[in-house]
Amino acid sequence: MFFDFARGISAQAVVLGHALNIFLPGIFMVPGHRVFYMQSFAVIIFFVLSGYLITSAVLKKRDRPDFTFNSYLLDRVARVVYPLFPALALIIACDFLVFRGTTRLPFDGVDLSPQAVAGAFTMLFNHPILQELAPRLGTPWINAGPVGSGAPLWSVVAEWWIYVAFGVLAFVAFRKMKPGVGNALLLVFAIAVPVGYMAKGSYESLAWIIGMLYALAAGRVAKLPRSFHAWLVILGTAAFLVGLYYNRVNLHSASTIIPASVAFCHLYFLVDGIAAERSADGLSRSTFKDRSGRAFRAFSLFLSSYSYSLYLLHFSVVSYLWYFLHGTLPAWQLIALSILASNVVAFGFYLLVEKHFHRVGAWLKKVLLRPPAPVGGATTAAARNQDLEDAKH
């Protein structure tokens, strides 16, 4: 529930943050001013959540004979790439209809060139290796940037390559997988993305690594006293605020990302420990608390369910509202309309596309993977249910 709420609220913060940037640029986009960009903070939360949840899922399934690197990768394709590609197609089509041939934009430009489209669908835009090779080989077309109004999708692509790198390393460590030349090259190509971003001053991948480390140590960390977690939340928050002050509110720096990630992880263990203790003591059985708890869980699950769709599409929706209504409605109305319209569009996209990712994953495995040899019987229904639960992350 904690993670669902954090993911859902973070997605809403991204929408609000980008709406403030676009509709109130005189406040939120002034060069040199110290501005707290809530969308950048939300991305930190997304990365640490992802690192924790993906690592936890791998640890749960690592001893299953049907859990291979290929099945892991197909799970990630179904969860990340399958919703991404239809969203990209929708963004490109709408951008072409709305922005084609115009210079009236709320941002620098809209790149709908063939190389930008190809870079988006191959998950290769902003890739550090291609950025380095392009001028040396005299092939600038291989260095693609984000396509159209899909600029925020850089984080999705970055996480995709982190998933790939983590998968190779995890299966080498846990399942003694022989890397081979192909997997070694894949690892180098994948790990170049987070390393390249860090070389340019964007350390979001550290949040992913911290989430991973806490997942690996979760059994031991969860046994620590609640007071220890509370103190780490306080100290981590204080260090985060100090980092913000001395780095001019730079939410991409290691000095802000590391303490924020540590504080978030200990907040999870603190809240989870309190909830477990109350449940054991029977304190959550009163009618009011029980109903309010169920309502909060349902609300958190609802917000979280379509948070990925919201992240994929919101910036384009906000940009279109700016294009058609800028100068017609006041900024506060446009911001409210952006939040409403983004959520409606994203929830519709979730129902039509993202919601079916588990079926897509099962189909991909059926078509592309050989069935595992039975070990003590066929794969159980419980194992299949665990696949679906883990795939949500």
DSSP one-letter code for 373: P
Q: How far apart are CA 51 and CA 266, in angstroms?
A: 15
What gap in Å lies between CA 115 and CA 203, rounded to an integer?
27
Give φ, ψ of 379 to 5 degrees.
-55, 130
Helix ranges (DSSP H) in the chain = 2-23, 25-28, 38-61, 69-76, 82-99, 114-121, 128-137, 154-174, 180-199, 204-216, 218-221, 226-246, 254-281, 287-305, 307-325, 331-352, 357-368, 381-391
- pLDDT of residue 300 exceeding 80: yes
Residue 49 has what pLDDT?
96
- 122 found inside a domain: no
Question: If you average pLDDT over residues 53-64, what whole number do you get?
Answer: 93
Read off φ and ψ for residue 326, nearest 5 degrees. Answer: -60, 130
Rounded mean pLDDT of 306-325?
96
Rg, the chain, Cα only: 22
Residue 9 lies in a domain: yes
Is residue 211 a part of any domain in this protein? yes
- Our count of domains for the chain comes to 1
Backbone angles phi, psi at 329, to 5 degrees: -115, 150
Q: For residue 101, give Cα distances in angstroms to 104, 109, 150, 318, 323.
A: 9, 11, 18, 19, 13
Percent of the chain beyond pLDDT 90? 73
Q: How many whole angstroms separate alpha carbon 265 and alpha carbon 263?
A: 6
The domain in which residue 350 lies consists of 2-68+206-391
Q: Is residue 53 part of a domain?
A: yes
- Specify the higher pLDDT residue, 170 or 380: 170
pLDDT higher at 30 or 3:
3
- Look at residue 197 and tell me if it is in a domain: no
Q: pLDDT band for position 379 (50/70/90)?
A: very low
CA atoms within 13 A on the CB side of 380: 7
Q: How buried is residue 182: exposed, middle or buried, by Cβ count under 10 Å (0-12/13-18/19+)?
A: exposed
d(CA 318, CA 345): 11
Q: If you ran DSSP here, which 8-state letter would residue 329 be given?
A: B
Residue-wise pLDDT tens digits, 140-199: 989 998 999 998 999 999 999 999 999 999 999 887 778 788 889 999 999 999 999 999
